[in-house]
């Protein structure tokens, strides 16, 4: 064999080694992103319609809440408190330390800035001004959130199973990847009051 000729076994061995290197590098990049930065989530059910539909594929931002607190109006993905293997998507209505009062179909939030409370404007509801039932009043402790689905008549949420502890929050819905016709960033309804 001359120097220009290569043993076929050596060539195959180098090609396999290169493929393994590419796979290891790819996994080293993709896995941390998948588990610590952004996570896929598939919407199940009609509780967030018309803003999120069954079988939509979302990308969830897991980093933002390490840097800032969740805000009212954000759509979040979280582990269901009564069965943490399940994931839910709902919208934040009440923040830690606030009171939430649902009466006559309206949601009123009571906090330090608004001790008499204010009626929550909810532009994500269809039709606008849609009534919220049942009547209830709740005071949130530190680290607790009150969440509800946008499709109020068909949502199991804080009205049914209680408050959501921050430890269950995975992240906020950031990007809609599927279906392709809905591709794009999720509308942000976060408010600072």
Instruction: Kindly list the catalytic residues.
Output: 47, 90
Token look-up 């949502």 returns 155
Q: CB of 45 within 8 A of CB of 161?
A: no
Question: What is the Cα–Cα distance from 173 to 99, expressed in whole angstroms?
Answer: 25
Q: CB of 109 within 8 A of CB of 117?
A: yes
What number of other Cβ atoms are within 10 A of residue 81's Cβ?
Answer: 16
Which are the contacts of 153, defined by CB distance < 8 A and separation ≥ 6? 133
From the list 33, 32, 47, the residue with the least C-alpha distance to 77 is: 47
């Amino acid at each position: 064999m001359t120097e220009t000729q290569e043993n076929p076994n050596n060539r195959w061995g180098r090609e396999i080694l290169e493929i393994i290197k590419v796979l290891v590098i790819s996994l080293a990049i993709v896995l941390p992103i998948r588990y610590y930065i952004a996570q896929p989530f598939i919407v199940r059910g009609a509780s967030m319609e018309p803003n999120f539909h069954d079988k939509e594929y979302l990308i969830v931002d897991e980093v933002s809440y390490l840097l800032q607190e969740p805000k009212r109006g954000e759509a979040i993905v979280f582990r269901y408190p009564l069965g943490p293997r399940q994931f839910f998507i709902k919208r934040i209505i009440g923040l830690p330390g606030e009171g939430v009062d649902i009466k006559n179909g309206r949601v009123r939030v009571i906090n330090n800035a608004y001790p008499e409370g204010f009626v929550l404007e909810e532009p994500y509801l269809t039709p606008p001004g849609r009534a919220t039932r049942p009547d209830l009043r709740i005071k949130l402790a530190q680290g607790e959130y009150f969440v509800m689905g946008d499709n109020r008549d068909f949502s199991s949420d804080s009205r049914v199973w209680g408050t959501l502890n921050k430890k269950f929050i995975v992240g906020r819905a950031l990007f809609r990847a599927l279906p392709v016709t809905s591709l794009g960033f999720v509308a942000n309804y976060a408010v600072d009051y």
